[in-house]
Structure 1
Amino acid sequence: MRSITLAAGRRGVPPAFLQQLRDAIDIVTLISGYVALSKIGQNYRGLCPFHSEKTPSFTVTPSRQMFYCFGCGTGGDVFTFLMKKEGIGFMEAVRELAELAKLPVPSEAKAGSCSTSPDQRVQLEAIHARAQTWFHHNLFEHAMGRTALAYLTERGLHLETLRAFGVGFAPASWDGLTRYLLHAGFRLQDVVQSGLILTKPGKTGYYDRFRGRIMIPIVNLRGQVVGFGGRVLDGTLPKYLNSPETPLFSKGRMLYGLDRAREAIARLNTAILVEGYFDVMTLHQSGFQHVVAPLGTALTRDHVALIRRFATTVVLVFDGDSAGSHAVLRALDLFVNSGMTVRVAILPEGYDPDTYVRTHGSQALHTLLETQAVPLLDFAIEHSLQRHRHGTLDDRIRQVDDLLRIIMKADNVIMREEYTRSVAERLGIRQELLVQRYPQLLRRGETSASPEKNLVRNRDKQNGKKEDREERDLVALLLRGAFTVDQLHALQEEEFTNPLYRQLVRVILYHIDASGTLVWDAFHAQIAGDDVLGPLVAELTTMDEGYFHAEDVVGYIWDCLRALTRKKIRTALNQAIARLRAAERDGRGDEIQRLNAHINELLIRKADLEKVELLSS
Structure 2
Amino acid sequence: GQGAAAREYLKSRDLGDQAVRDFMIGYAPNAWDALLKWGGKKGYAAEALEAAGLVLRKSGASGDSGSSYDRFRNRVMFPICDEQGRVVGFSGRTLDDSDRSAKYVNTPDTALFHKSRILYALHRARQHILETREAIICEGQIDVIRCHLAGFRSAVAAQGTAFTEDHARLIRRYADGVVLVFDSDSAGMDATVRAAGVFLRAGLVVKASSVPAGEDPDSFIRKNGAEAFDAVLKSAVSPVAFHARMLARRENIRTESGLLRAARAVLELIANSPDSVQRARLLDEAAAELGVPKSALEDNLRALVSRRQTLQEPDWTNDGRTPGQTAGRETDIRPAEKDLCMHLVQAADFPAMVRLVTDHLPLSMIADRRCRLFIEAAREAARRKTDIQAALPSGEKADDSMSEFLAEILMSPPKAERRDGMLDRAVEEIILYLWRERLKAEKAELEKRLQAGGGTEEDEKKLCQLTHDIKALRSWEDGSLVIRMLMKP
TM-score greater than 0.5 by the shorter chain: yes
Task: Give the corresponding residue for 2:245.
Answer: 382
Corresponding residue number in structure 2 for 1:135: none
* 1:394 and 2:257 correspond: yes
Give the whole-Å Cα distance in 1 for the aligned partners of 2:268 and 2:79.
40
Give the AA of the match of 1:193: A
Greater radius of gyration (CA)? 1
3-state SS in 2 of match to 1:373: coil
After the TM superposition, which residues 54-69 of structure 1 pair with which residues of structure 2 at under 5 Å, given as runs? Answer: none
| Cα 1:407–1:258 shift into 2, 3 Å | closer
Question: How far apart, in 1, do the equivalents of 2:83 and 2:279 lie?
Answer: 38
Give the structure 2 partner of residue 166 of structure 1: 24
1:181 to 39, 58, 69: 39
CA–CA separation in structure 2 for the residues paired with 1:310 and 1:170: 34
Deviations 1:304-331 (A, max 9, x none): 1111112222111111111111111111
Q: Which amino acid aligns with 2:120?
A: Y
Report the AA paired with residue 153 of structure 1: K
Residue 424 of structure 1: CA displacement? 4.0
Q: Does 1:369 align with 2:227?
A: no
Shift of 1:297: 0.8
SS of 1:195's equivalent in the other structure is coil
Match of 1:213? 75
- Give distance in 1, aligned partners of 2:123 and 2:281: 39
Preserved CA contact (<8 Å) 1:266 1:310: yes
Q: Aligned residue for 1:255?
A: 119
SS in 2 for 1:229: strand
Q: What amino acid is aligned across from residue 357 of structure 1 in structure 2?
A: I
Report the TM-score when normalising by structure 1: 0.50
Task: List per-residue Cα deviations over 1:281-312 (Å, max 9, x = no partner).
Answer: 22212222221111111111111111111222
Q: After superposition, what is the alpha-carbon deviation per residue over 1:379-431, rounded to whole angstroms, capped at 9, x for unaligned?
A: 23333344322575433322232233333334454554454455445545444
Of 92, 112, 118, the residue aligned with 1:230 is 92
What is the SS of the residue equivalent to 2:90?
strand
Measured in 2, the distance between the counterparts of 1:478 and 1:197 equals: 44
Among 121, 129, 132, which residue is 1:265 paired with? 129
Shift of residue 477 of structure 1? 12
Distance verdict in 2 for CA 1:200–1:450, change over 3 Å: closer
Match of 1:358 in 2: 222
Residues 182 and 336 (structure 1 numbering): CA distance in 2 closer, same or farther, change over 3 Å?
same
- Structure 1 CA distance for aligned equivalents of residues 183 and 145 of structure 2: 16
Shift of the alpha carbon at 1:450? 4.5
Q: Is the 8 A contact 2:198 2:272 kept in 1?
A: no
1:300-379 alignment, distance < 5 Å:
300-370=164-234, 372-379=235-242
Matched, 1:198 2:56: yes
- Residue 14 of structure 2 corresponds to 156
CA distance in 1, matches of 2:282, 2:426: 36
Deviation sequence 1:181-231 (CA, Å, 0-9, x none): 112222222122222111223556221111111111112233322111100
Deviation, 1:270, is 2.0
1:514-533 superposed matches below 5 A: none
Deviations 1:524-558 (A, max 9, x none): 6799999668854999xxxxxxxxxxxxxxxxxxx
Aligned-partner residue type, residue 53 of structure 2: G
Paired with 2:145 and 2:255, the residues of 1 have a C-alpha distance of 45
Letter in 1 for 2:251: H
Distance change >3 Å, CA 221–CA 525, structure 1 → 2: closer
Letter aligned with residue 241 of structure 2: D
Q: Aligned residue for 2:477? A: none
Distance 1:189 1:429, change over 3 A: closer
Distance 1:326 1:187, change over 3 A: same
Report the residue type matching 2:12 in the other structure: E
Query: Which residue matches 1:433?
Result: 296
1:8-54, CA deviations, whole angstroms, 9 ceiling, x for partnerless residues?
xxxxxxxxxxxxxxxxxxxxxxxxxxxxxxxxxxxxxxxxxxxxxxx
Residues 395 and 526 of structure 1, relative CA distance in 2, 3 Å threshold: farther
Q: Distance in 1 between matches of 2:86 and 2:377?
A: 33
Q: CA deviation at 1:374?
A: 1.2
Whether the 8 Å contact between 2:122 and 2:156 is mirrored in structure 1 is yes
- For residues 527 and 429 of structure 1, do their structure 2 counterparts lie closer, same or farther at Cα, with a shift above 3 Å needed? same
> Secondary structure of 1:189's partner?
helix
The number of residue pairs the alignment matches comes to: 344
1:313-361 deviation per Cα after TM superposition (whole angstroms, max 9, x unaligned): 2111111111111111111331115232221121111111111111111
Over the matched positions of the two proteins, sequence identity in percent amounts to: 35
Sort the Cα spacing of 1:307 and 1:392 in 2 relative to 1 into closer, same or farther, 3 A. same
Query: What are structure 1's unaligned runs of at least 5 residues?
Result: 1-142, 454-475, 481-503, 512-520, 540-564, 572-617
Q: Which amino acid aligns with 1:352?
A: D
Q: How far apart are the structure 2 equivalents of 1:240 and 1:408?
A: 34
Q: Deviations over 1:362-386 (max 9, x none)?
A: 111112212x111223323333344
For the 8 Å contact 2:91–2:105, the answer to whether it is kept is: yes
Question: Structure 1 pair 524/179, CA: closer, same or farther in 2 (3 Å)?
Answer: closer
Deviation at 1:439, TM superposition (A): 5.5
- Verify the 8 A CA contact 1:527 1:534 in the aligned structure 2: no
Amino acid at match of 1:158: G
